[in-house]
Structure 1
Amino acid sequence: MSSLHKSRIADFQDVLKEPSIALQKLRELSFSGIPCEGGLRCLCWKILLNYLPLERASWTSILAKQRELYAQFLREMIIQPGIAKANMGASREDVTFEDHPLNPSPDSRWNTYFKDNEVLLQIDKDVRRLCPDISFFQMATEYPCLLILDPQNEFETLRKRVEQTTLKSQTVARNRSGVTNMSSPQKNASSPALNEYEVLPNGCEAHWEVVERILFIYAKLNPGIAYVQGMNEIVGPLYYTFATDPNSEWKEHAEADTFFCFTNLMAEIRDNFIKSLDDSQCGITYKMEKVYSTLKERDVELYLKLQEQNIRPQFFAFRWLTLLLSQEFLLPDVIRIWDSLFADDSRFDFLLLVCCAMLILIREQLLQGDFTVNMRLLQDYPITDVCLILQKATELQDCK
């Protein structure tokens, strides 16, 4: 470890040990990248995403309260309808009489259960193919949800719910190993194919199952947006970061902590996922056009070339912006980019500059290429050095 790196770690530790965290100082340090040693990134992200307050003294009580709240969500929302009412005091006979799977009432728990299954099936399809370049999400977590897996509780795992539902044939195509077949446009590192992994035995949970539960609870609590494809790519890097925290006490609660950080992050970017807001000033169309207007200010020749070829920002920037570049780079590089995004005061303005920097850094290829070549460049971005990209984006920011 270099002396410079040791010095950076010491700088973070000095800021984080203060009774009241100096947020601006933490932002400045984090913008240049957060060291992964000692769980620093996990802690900094929780502060930068407004999960932990600046006053250290309140951390223990707030974490305990939020983790218990998440456990309450699990108890209330991942439960079989008939059993739910029986547990609330009604006999099973009364439950069957009052509510049953064919009850058309909107208030029927069974009706809600079946609607939830439609959302769950989409989540399940997406999370099974999360980050295919690494094996992490297919591996068993050290901390499966005991509340769900305890045979004394009449809860069910979401995986079993998907497997048992009569709707499964509509969505989930399974191979003989029990893992969803998939292909991903993301850059692949050398890793085992997903279909080499076996289904985990009862009592174990894969990390993707934890992510599935987080997204399902989020969808239940936010019916206005529910679940939109791509949210899995937002929650994945958050969960990976927290679930690999070297502090075992915090790693044990990675699920609950990820849920609240994801909820806070979605509060800032959720407009990108709401189709009815696409053309509003807070919607994704406006932000995509902002990438091009920024490019026009910084490199008019490149801007005119893309316009001449009718290469619209929707063709590539939609994915870049909506998924916070999580599909353009390998996971460690995505995490590094997110250090800067979370640390910036107006962090998703900085994302626009990162996208603009990505265009400028391949300007020579774009200026020489035809439509087909350029679309291939933009949809499979060739530069893998994210530090170079962030440096260029910072230069654009400083030139404002």
Structure 2
Amino acid sequence: MAYKARLQEFSDTLDAEVIDLKKLRKLVFNGCPDSGYRSKCWKLLLSYLPRERKHWKTELEKQRNTYMQFIDEMIIKPGREATEHGGLADVTLDDHPLNPNPDSEWRAYFKDNEMLLQIDKDCRRLCPDFNFFQCASKHPCSRLCGKNSFETLRKRVEQTVLQSESVSRNRLGITNMSAVKRKSSSEFVPLPDGQEAHWEVCERILFVFAKLNTGLGYIQGMNEILGPIYYTFATDPDTECEEFAEADSFFCFTTLMSEIRDNFIKTLDDSQCGIGGLMDQLMSQLKEQDPTLWHKLQEQDLKPQFYAFRWLTLMLSQEFPLPDVIRIWDSLFSQEKCSTFLIKVACAMLLLLKDDLLRGDFPSNMKLVQNFPYSTFDVQKVLKKAVEISR
């Protein structure tokens, strides 16, 4: 009965002519029910949908058309250019692959390919334990566009030799690829022409985002931020939401990145506006909640850079299974600023590990915080602890 009443609350809130964001935030903080409400709630909380329901249809149509224009403009073959009518026309042969002109389309094309290779590697291994991203999308971009005015990113990548995985890690603790060449294995066999895997859709979203945000570009780890958003929209029971998951995910991802982008900028790592500031807030929170545990971590020199860097930058998307990440993000998105509650969740994780951390030596504690035992401390327990800290 309580569940039915909760569904009714969500329904009443979302059916209002003007959405009460304060009420919606309170509802979403405690988790969205698995009945198709989450996509709509996230779009509202990420400012993609306006509060007035009467504007939803026109706003969505406008944004989705805008995204299709981005694809036409950002993913284009050199040697072709857009006409006044939006089509493509052949241009002269003055621009060719060896053209040294800085304004050459080919020069930009080859530079984009360097970025695309990194996006491709990251998206291929998106949620590797979750089969969804390897499956074919019901709505490939070629069908949505209704034309083949853009070059599929798959074709670009197929022309480049795939590289093998190495044990090196980047600043986020994510495994990088080495430059050792290898033949393409069955793991990388693309779907037949006309089909796209969900990871390919994510690849295109990130490529368009990087092209539109040249000052930031693509930074490894952004794929982990996009993944849960795209999955939520692409699996929504509403067919329209599922069909336009790509465009909707792009704009919601862009909004979220505008809030957390400083965490991805390496030059801001040690500043208060970057990831360094968040880690300082986490340690201050821990010291306030449990001075004994804080002192233990200080004594062992177990710095937050070793574990919390990834926790906070990727919003815990690599610390929990995808369904748990989505539940955590309900609570994060319900806040006016995600990092406010994210700090509390991260502190709760450390407090739940207190007994083991106080007993353990440096190597065992390092392993523990870098591999949070989510099967022991399920997501509801973590969130409950975070709420206690907030109070």
The alignment's TM-score, normalised by the length of structure 2, stands at 0.91
Aligned to 1:161: 156
Aligned to 1:51: 48
Does 277-286 or 136-145 show the bigger shift? 277-286
1:270 pairs with 261, 265, 278, which one? 261
Question: Partners in 2 of 1:260 and 1:374 — Cα distance?
Answer: 39
Tell me if 1:317 matches 2:314: no
Deviation at 1:225, TM superposition (A): 0.7
Aligned to 1:397: 390
* Paired AA for residue 346 in structure 1: K
Aligned to 2:170: none
1:19 pairs with 4, 17, 20, which one? 17
Secondary structure at the aligned position of 1:302 is classed as helix
* Paired AA for residue 397 in structure 1: S
Which deviations, in whole Å up to 9, do the C-alpha atoms of 1:91-133 show, x marking residues without a partner?
74x5212x11112222111111111101100000000000011
Question: Partners in 1 of 2:311 and 2:235 — Cα distance?
Answer: 26
1:140–1:206 CA contact under 8 A, matched in 2: yes
Residues 1:89 and 1:377: Cα distance change in structure 2 (over 3 Å): closer
Question: Partners in 2 of 1:267 and 1:108 — Cα distance?
Answer: 30
* Paired AA for residue 18 in structure 2: S
Aligned to 2:39: 42
Question: Partners in 2 of 1:174 and 1:255 — Cα distance?
Answer: 31
Does 361-370 or 169-178 show the bigger shift? 169-178
Structure 2 unmatched ranges of 5 or more:
164-178
2:133–2:197 CA contact under 8 A, matched in 1: yes
Residues 1:91 and 1:131: Cα distance change in structure 2 (over 3 Å): closer
2:235 pairs with 244, 249, 252, which one? 244
Deviation at 1:149, TM superposition (A): 8.2
Question: Partners in 1 of 2:40 and 2:49 — Cα distance?
Answer: 8
* Paired AA for residue 125 in structure 1: K
Secondary structure at the aligned position of 1:34 is classed as coil
Aligned to 2:195: 204
Tell me if 1:331 matches 2:318: no
Aligned to 1:388: 381
Aligned to 1:127: 123
Aligned to 1:109: 105
* Paired AA for residue 381 in structure 2: L
Residues 1:174 and 1:217: Cα distance change in structure 2 (over 3 Å): farther
Question: Partners in 2 of 1:15 and 1:137 — Cα distance?
Answer: 32
Tell me if 1:369 matches 2:369: no
Deviation at 1:281, TM superposition (A): 1.7
Secondary structure at the aligned position of 2:92 is classed as helix
Residues 1:236 and 1:96: Cα distance change in structure 2 (over 3 Å): same
Deviation at 1:199, TM superposition (A): 3.0
2:335–2:341 CA contact under 8 A, matched in 1: yes
Question: Partners in 1 of 2:181 and 2:224 — Cα distance?
Answer: 19
Deviation at 1:82, TM superposition (A): 0.5
Which deviations, in whole Å up to 9, do the C-alpha atoms of 1:29-84 show, x marking residues without a partner?
000001120x1000000000110011101000000000000000011111101122
2:185 pairs with 158, 173, 176, which one? 176
* Paired AA for residue 12 in structure 1: F
Question: Partners in 2 of 1:390 and 1:91 — Cα distance?
Answer: 56
Question: Partners in 2 of 1:86 and 1:57 — Cα distance?
Answer: 35
Aligned to 1:6: 4
Instruction: Give the share of equivalent positions with the same residue, in percent.
Output: 58
Answer 1 or 2: which has greater strand percent. Answer: 2
Residues 1:70 and 1:267: Cα distance change in structure 2 (over 3 Å): same
2:60 pairs with 56, 63, 71, which one? 63
Residues 1:17 and 1:248: Cα distance change in structure 2 (over 3 Å): same
Question: Partners in 2 of 1:201 and 1:236 — Cα distance?
Answer: 23
Secondary structure at the aligned position of 2:381 is classed as helix
1:121–1:171 CA contact under 8 A, matched in 2: no
Question: Partners in 1 of 2:181 and 2:55 — Cα distance?
Answer: 44
Question: Partners in 1 of 2:280 and 2:181 — Cα distance?
Answer: 36
Question: Partners in 2 of 1:146 and 1:42 — Cα distance?
Answer: 24
Residues 1:383 and 1:176: Cα distance change in structure 2 (over 3 Å): closer
Aligned to 2:369: 378
Question: Partners in 1 of 2:111 and 2:180 — Cα distance?
Answer: 15
Aligned to 2:226: 235
Residues 1:137 and 1:74: Cα distance change in structure 2 (over 3 Å): same
Deviation at 1:174, TM superposition (A): 5.1
Tell me if 1:226 matches 2:223: no
Question: Partners in 1 of 2:297 and 2:32 — Cα distance?
Answer: 35
The alignment's TM-score, normalised by the length of structure 1, stands at 0.89
* Paired AA for residue 367 in structure 1: L
Aligned to 2:298: 307
Question: Partners in 1 of 2:46 and 2:121 — Cα distance?
Answer: 28
* Paired AA for residue 107 in structure 2: N
Structure 1 unmatched ranges of 5 or more:
180-197
Secondary structure at the aligned position of 1:84 is classed as strand
Which deviations, in whole Å up to 9, do the C-alpha atoms of 1:135-178 show, x marking residues without a partner?
0000001101126886x63532101111124x756588554315
Secondary structure at the aligned position of 1:220 is classed as helix
* Paired AA for residue 151 in structure 2: E
2:81–2:88 CA contact under 8 A, matched in 1: no
Aligned to 1:192: none
Tell me if 1:344 matches 2:339: no
